[in-house]
Amino acid sequence: MKIQKSGIIALIGRPNVGKSTLLNRLAGEKVAIVTDKPQTTRHRITAVATRGACQFVFLDTPGFHRPRNRLGEHMVRLVRETALGVDAVVLMVEPAARVGTPEAMLIEQLVRARAGEAPPAVLVINKIDTVKKDALLAVIETYRPALPWAAVVPLSARDGDGVAPLFDELAPLLPEGPALYPEGQVTDQPDRVLIAEIVREKLLDHLEQEVPHGVAVVTDTLRERENGLVDIGVTIVCERESHKGILIGRRGAMLKQVGQEARAELEEMYGGPVHFQSWVKVKADWRDKPGQLRDLGFDV
Ligand SMILES: Nc1nc2c(ncn2[C@@H]2O[C@H](COP(=O)(O)OP(=O)(O)OP(=O)(O)O)[C@@H](O)[C@H]2O)c(=O)[nH]1
Ligand SMILES: [Mg+2]
């Protein structure tokens, strides 16, 4: 079917609310990594979905939070810029009957940026699998006055319940126009970025406390040999020697475990054997150093 409407939709909300889970659900495949740690997403991630004559281009964003370093400032700026330059915004909230600080700030910015005009926005209440119906009604009643112009879509990004109605609410907000991405393209992330993110996801799954936030991953090597084997090498960056010890683990146990998990997913992605190697490097306070942030792929 020929595309007649297409538009860009930003997913915004506090850390850990489920934006990346929803992005993957909307795309129909894994485009963004998901963990139970807040501030997992650090980049803007595109996922393209087609429904009938509509092409939806979704942009996942970092969780909106009070920044404590340059990386955080960059992430928060990215949320603001993204939210203001799109055709529609999906504000995602937890199923709690209270407008929290990040939500209040995001709502205020949306309203102010468009000089009081109602921005095309949809409010998504996520994780409905965790609340009873009465509790959900209380959440809807809480948010309705805060965003009187927006449709409210309760859903479970994890289970997929309520995701189809979200497409129905967003379709009328798309401008008329041709496809923005070629048919079949699901994301614009280069393989090197996807690889680094998969490794970071496996790392975060095993890390606790302050270590995860100070971890970055870069793909150094990506080479397909003639026999079909894919060579992948990554550098894992952390902020302190003590963190390096945790990342490597007792006799290298942690790095080995993470390597196994990452390799399994990468082999699925490439449909064949992967040779995976990783190195751990300390870069003190990289999250506060513009030069190092740029080296690690952040557009600061
Ligand atoms: N129960 C439940 N958990 C969910 C749902 N959606 C996401 N989660 C969980 O919430 C956690 C955070 O999910 P993410 O998708 O990484 O959240 P995010 O908003 O992208 O987080 P940041 O990138 O840190 O801003 C993960 O443990 C998910 O499995 C849902 O619908 N129900
Ligand atoms: Mg995310």
Q: How many domains does the chain have?
A: 2
What is the Å distance from ligand 2's center to 17 Cα?
Answer: 8
137 Cβ neighbours under 8 A, 6+ residues apart: none
Question: Which residues' Cβ are closer than 6 Å to ligand 1?
Answer: 13, 15-21, 34-36, 38-41, 62-63, 126-127, 129-130, 156-158
Is residue 165 included in any domain, yes or no?
Answer: yes
Residue owning the nearest CA to atom 10 of ligand 1: 18
Q: Domain ends where: 113, 146, 173? A: 173
Q: What are phi and psi of 138, to 5 degrees?
A: -65, -35
What is the Å distance from ligand 2's center to 26 Cα?
Answer: 14
Question: For position 58, which CATH number holds?
Answer: 3.40.50.300
**DSSP 8-state assignment for residue 156:** -
Q: What are phi and psi of 131, to 5 degrees?
A: -130, 155
Mean pLDDT of all residues in 252-270: 97
Strand partners, 89: 10, 121
Q: Are residues 79 and 205 in the same domain?
A: no
What is the Å distance from ligand 1's center to 129 Cα?
Answer: 12
Spatial distance between the Cα atoms of 11 and 13, rounded to a whole number of angstroms: 7
What is the Å distance from ligand 1's center to 268 Cα?
Answer: 23
Tokens at residue 99, please?
């407008």
List residues, by chain if needed, whose CB lies under 5 Å from ion ligand 2. 19-20, 40-41
Give the model confidence (pLDDT) of 131-188 as tens digits: 999 999 999 999 999 888 889 999 999 999 999 999 999 999 999 999 999 999 999 9
| Helix locations, 172-284, DSSP H | 191-206, 241-248, 253-270
Query: With pLDDT > 90 as the criterion, what percentage of the chain qualifies?
Result: 89
The pLDDT, as a whole number, for residue 117 is: 66
Give the model confidence (pLDDT) of 266-286 as tens digits: 999 999 999 999 999 999 999
Where is average pLDDT lowest: 39-53, 139-153, 253-267? Answer: 139-153
Q: Are residues 206 and 167 in the same domain?
A: no
Q: Which long-range contacts (CB under 8 A, 24 or more apart) does 216-224 make?
A: 216/286, 216/296, 218/296, 218/297, 219/191, 219/192, 219/193, 219/195, 221/277, 222/191, 222/192, 222/195
Q: Are residues 16 and 134 in the same domain?
A: yes
Q: Domain ends where: 173, 200, 235? A: 173
Q: Are residues 128 and 15 in the same domain?
A: yes
Q: Are residues 9 and 155 in the same domain?
A: yes
Mean pLDDT of all residues in 1-14: 96
Give the model confidence (pLDDT) of 195-233 as tens digits: 999 999 999 999 988 888 999 999 999 999 989 999 999
Strand partners, 277: 233
Atom of ligand 1 nearest to the CA of 62: 25
Q: Do 287 and 214 form a contact (C-beta atoms < 8 A)? A: yes
What domain range includes position 150? Answer: 5-173
Confidence (pTM):
0.97
Question: For position 286, which CATH number holds?
Answer: 3.30.300.20
Give the model confidence (pLDDT) of 81-122 as tens digits: 999 889 999 999 999 999 999 999 999 988 887 666 656 899
Q: Are residues 245 and 283 in the same domain?
A: yes
Q: Domain ends where: 173, 200, 234? A: 173
Is residue 183 included in any domain, yes or no?
Answer: no
Spatial distance between the Cα atoms of 177 and 158, rounded to a whole number of angstroms: 31
Spatial distance between the Cα atoms of 47 and 55, rounded to a whole number of angstroms: 11
**DSSP 8-state assignment for residue 281:** E
Is residue 12 included in any domain, yes or no?
Answer: yes
Q: Do 12 and 20 form a contact (C-beta atoms < 8 A)? A: no
